[in-house]
Structure 1
Amino acid sequence: MKVSENKNVVFITGAFVTHHCWDEWQTYFQSKDYNTVAPPWPYKDAETAEELRNRQPNDTDLARLTIDEVIDSYIKVVQSFPEKPIVIGHSFGGLVTQIIVNHDLAAAGVAIHPAPPQGILPYEFSFLKAGWKAFGLLTSTDETYLMSFEDWQYAFANEMSLEEQKASYEKFAIPESKTVVRGGLTHSASIDFKKPHPPLLITSGSLDNLIPAHLNKRNFEHYKESGSVLDYKEFEGRNHFVLGLPTWKEDADYILDWLSKH
């Protein structure tokens, strides 16, 4: 089956946010005749972000969650379809998307501002400033990490109005497993850049502090020529809250158009 004929989409959520960040995307893709699912990470199946925040910091099940468990949970979803679905992930979910594509488990993949796989050293200053606290160095991994509103302003919502920043934080920000974040630096987050793969699109945003465009471009450039479809697109004016910006539909349309061509 050609990608353009595939109507099943799995949306993969990133770290620090609830899976409801995909709600509008799901509705929009469904209006284009796609069948979509956006399952939460294990232990993040609460209806609201507030409910998950109220468990902070003593949600030991979430705190002990590993990157392998996150990846495996999405592989099970992908493999539940009768045919390989399209996989679209954001941030850490973009990393998971690259892993699933690398394992040839998807018809195609779209990694939106993805966290980098192992082997791509994220030395960009804004990444270090925005993300270092999430590793929780010298702190207990039995406790979850919740990004402060001040950190959210820099990592996710820079260049947005204060009102928009507050609203986005209240609606989407949730505690995270430091174990998962640290796992992004391990072999569990590795891929074979030389291996042929299904069509893959990597996107970035010019305003993203957490996963800056330069980091995404280096990720893209690590792939070796293998005859596989591989594309890169940097969008102007997008921060890490790209899924919820007023421009989100423009990004979705670009992705839909890209899928229709393969």
Structure 2
Amino acid sequence: MSGIVMFIHGAWLTPRVWERFAQRFAACGYTCLAPSWPSLEDIPAQRLREAPPAALGNLGVGRILAHYQALIEALPHPPLLVGHCYGGLFVQVLLDRGLGSAGIAIAPAPPRGVLPGLAALVRLLPMLTRAGRIVPLSEAQFARHAAQTLDAAERHREYQRQVAPAPGRLLLEAALGIGTRIDFGNDRRAPLLLIAGENDRTIHASTVAAVFRRHRRSVAVSTYRCFPGRSHWLIAEAGWQEVADYALEWAQSQADCF
């Protein structure tokens, strides 16, 4: 299988989180791209934690989507889009706009009209008061909400390598559904795979399933898979290979789209 894959990272992360997946896809002949969000500019996570760019706090949904749209339109042919968390939300919006040959949304934040669940809303509330400012993620928060399946040493390593501050404007806009409206009845939307982790404490599997049910209003291909025992960190925790291989097999089953 050959083609282009564009990986889109989520909030509090950098493109480095896709290293494992990119190696897996590249071994199958894909050209892999993992561009950073605007303002992050491929800066290492530690530097972002220590000295985040001043413009990061005001980075919103519209600018991020425009950034990826421009990158996609500059490619020789439409790529397969793969996103995690907010990156998975962006994959859905970009597909709805007619961009991308297919999309894989892993533990995706929900688009406008789908509530994330009471527990997620309660966790988000303090962050939503920081619109326009930079929102850090502590190592304790990372351990509790994103990577509870990792042992303490591995969690610390992953936090140091991967975790960066997030833009408060993005968090507020996404929570209010600003810029994330999707036409769930769009019959011309490219194929979409939604992946959830059974024990995800950030984006509950029930939320991903609710998004899937909305997408089924369309005749376009929509697939849902929940991986037992997995956390929000399912793209990098033990067993990530199973998730990556399932995504690869699904992409190859949609070969006519590439």
Q: TM-score under structure 2 normalisation? A: 0.93
TM-superposed CA distance for 1:9, in Å, is: 0.5
Hey, what's the Cα distance between the residues in 1 that align with 2:126 and 2:245? 34
On the 8 A contact 1:46/1:52 being kept in 2, the answer is: no
Q: Quick one: structure 1 residues 152 and 63, their matched pair in 2 at CA, closer, same or farther if it must change by over 3 Å?
A: same
AA aligned to 2:83 is G
Specify the SS of the correspondent of 2:179: helix
TM-superposed CA distance for 1:76, in Å, is: 1.1
1:248 matched residue in structure 2: 240
Hey, what's the Cα distance between the residues in 1 that align with 2:14 and 2:131? 23
TM-superposed CA distance for 1:226, in Å, is: 2.6
Q: Deviations over 1:147-194 (max 9, x none)?
A: 111111122111321112211111111011000111112330110111
Hey, what's the Cα distance between the residues in 1 that align with 2:46 and 2:161? 8
1:179 aligns with 2:169: yes
1:190 aligns with 2:186: no
Ranges of 4+ aligned residues in structure 1 off by more than 4 Å? none
Identical positions, percent: 28
Hey, what's the Cα distance between the residues in 1 that align with 2:122 and 2:27? 39
AA aligned to 1:21 is V
Q: Deviations over 1:94-136 (max 9, x none)?
A: 00000011111111000000000011122242x235433432x
AA aligned to 1:223 is H
1:29 aligns with 2:25: yes
On the 8 A contact 2:2/2:29 being kept in 1, the answer is: no
AA aligned to 2:211 is N
1:218 matched residue in structure 2: 210
1:70 to 64, 78, 88: 64
Q: TM-score under structure 1 normalisation? A: 0.92
1:52 matched residue in structure 2: 48
On the 8 A contact 1:206/1:234 being kept in 2, the answer is: yes
On the 8 A contact 1:130/1:154 being kept in 2, the answer is: no
AA aligned to 1:192 is D
TM-superposed CA distance for 1:240, in Å, is: 0.9
Q: Quick one: structure 1 residues 30 and 140, their matched pair in 2 at CA, closer, same or farther if it must change by over 3 Å?
A: closer
Hey, what's the Cα distance between the residues in 2 that align with 1:205 and 1:166? 21
1:147 aligns with 2:123: no
Unaligned runs of 5+ in 1: none
Hey, what's the Cα distance between the residues in 2 that align with 1:247 and 1:123? 26
How many residues are treated as equivalent by the alignment? Answer: 252
Hey, what's the Cα distance between the residues in 2 that align with 1:227 and 1:29? 28
AA aligned to 2:168 is K
Hey, what's the Cα distance between the residues in 1 that align with 2:181 and 2:2? 27
2:154 matched residue in structure 1: 164
1:105 aligns with 2:104: no
TM-superposed CA distance for 1:25, in Å, is: 1.4
AA aligned to 2:75 is F
AA aligned to 2:30 is Y
2:193 to 201, 211, 234: 201
AA aligned to 1:62 is L
Q: Deviations over 1:72-97 (max 9, x none)?
A: 11111111112111100000000000
On the 8 A contact 2:135/2:168 being kept in 1, the answer is: yes
1:90 to 75, 84, 88: 84
On the 8 A contact 1:134/1:147 being kept in 2, the answer is: no
On the 8 A contact 1:118/1:187 being kept in 2, the answer is: yes
TM-superposed CA distance for 1:46, in Å, is: 3.9
On the 8 A contact 2:113/2:177 being kept in 1, the answer is: no
CA RMSD of aligned residues (A): 1.5
